[in-house]
Homo-oligomer: A and B are copies of this chain.
Amino acid sequence: MRAREIAQEYPVIELDAYAVDAVRLLAQHRLRGIVVTDVVGRPHAVLSDSQVLRFLVPAYTVNEPTLARVYGEKYAEVGTGLFGCTVRQLLPEQTIEVPVADSDATVVELAALMARLHSPLVAVVEGEYLQGVVTTTHLIELILPAS
């Protein structure tokens, strides 16, 4: 079984799209993450819902649980930092390995890549262009021993 046979269609978002649109896509489709592409459709990154969450609450609350509690009173402000930002600004500053696999990658290669990068999904490419996505959930279903 090869990546091209199991890759599924999946929403993507461009690097310079509005961040709030990426978050809405995640929420509407209840996605674990979304593939971020450049203008010609080449995968540039995977934006996971954990990364989004980190952006929706003030940075100091993430590292300091006590401050997170205090902040509770200002709930109305949460998430508003997102407006005007682009997807590019949600991504980590340092370049990290993008979870991309060739369309002839095996199931084991996909699983190993996901496990190594702690990514909820892998972008499957043919040449440089996105063909579809394989998620952790899908892969576990495929690998699960039959009995």
Q: What count of chain A residues pass the 8 Å CB interface test?
A: 51
A8 interface contact, C-beta 8 A: no
Give the residue name and chain of the B residue nearest to A60 (CB).
Answer: B112
Could you tell me the distance between the alpha carbons of A83 and B32 in the complex, rounded to whole angstroms?
28
Which of these, B31, B72, B106, B111, contacts A106 with CB under 8 Å?
B72
A68 and B20 within 8 A (CB): no
Could you tell me the distance between the alpha carbons of A1 and B76 in the complex, rounded to whole angstroms?
11
Which of these, B1, B56, B65, B109, contacts A113 with CB under 8 Å?
B65
A39 interface contact, C-beta 8 A: no
User: A86-94, A123-131, A133-141: which one contacts chain B?
Assistant: A133-141
A145 and B83 within 8 A (CB): yes
Q: What 0/1 pattern do residues 71 to 82 of A give for CB contact below 8 A with B? A: 110010011101
B108 and A61 within 8 A (CB): yes
Could you tell me the distance between the alpha carbons of A120 and B50 in the complex, rounded to whole angstroms?
7
B82 and A145 within 8 A (CB): yes
Give the residue name and chain of the B residue nearest to A109 (CB).
Answer: B68
A115 interface contact, C-beta 8 A: yes
Q: What are the 3 closest A-B residue pairs judged by CB atoms, nearest first?
A: A72-B106, A68-B112, A54-B115
